[in-house]
Structure 1
């Protein structure tokens, strides 16, 4: 479809969709920059440690489940885990049931680091969300979940040359 084929209504819809997507892009960049600056960790490190800090995975989480939970690629997660292993925050080990599968677990050093980081994260959240009422936050989460499902369902046709 060319620009000439887009109706005024479609053009307005395109513009708002573009603005929303661009704002999400900016938000991701701001999160990356500010979490590194204010917390000293990247958002993906923060997310991995947060995922592994949950009580239900205290004994470890499979590598595959962790990629699915975080919505990251295996390659991306592998690189992050290498850095977290280097810092002795996580360990990887063979699953006792399926020896071919790898599990990931937060170490005691990782828990200590996470406990200290979590206090900073709480304050980070408090300041960043200061202008939102509780109901606004709940609604925002609902809409982000809806958008995430929509993005995961996208199937573009291959470009025809």
Structure 2
């Protein structure tokens, strides 16, 4: 699909293959899937359309694609939402690691470190959420607070807070 974009970045539908379906924009919500990844538009999953989702996990790749109301309704149906700030943290981490020389300009090394750190982070987040019966977002925020406390203990409170 990336090779068949029009001059505005949209998909040139003249290049669809036989058997491809052209569906309305909102039809992506109820596609049968284990994991749904809204990756382009903020607030695209809301309390009105969340009922169409059948996936067991929603991974927020876009910035804030699931509204707070929709996230609560999804949780009530047993559907977990992995927050955007976790899903997108690998890119930010990689950038900082490269900037400060924690990883060399080597794709294998960078991907290895990202893979290890993200696996640890996501596993800790799921474990905490399951243990304490809280949302993935609440677990991620707790982990962030714990990490902030560890950073402040190590480096002091230089921000003056």
TM-score w.r.t. length of structure 2: 0.27
Task: Choose between structure 1 and 2 for higher RCO, CA contacts under 8 A separated by at least 6 residues.
Answer: 1
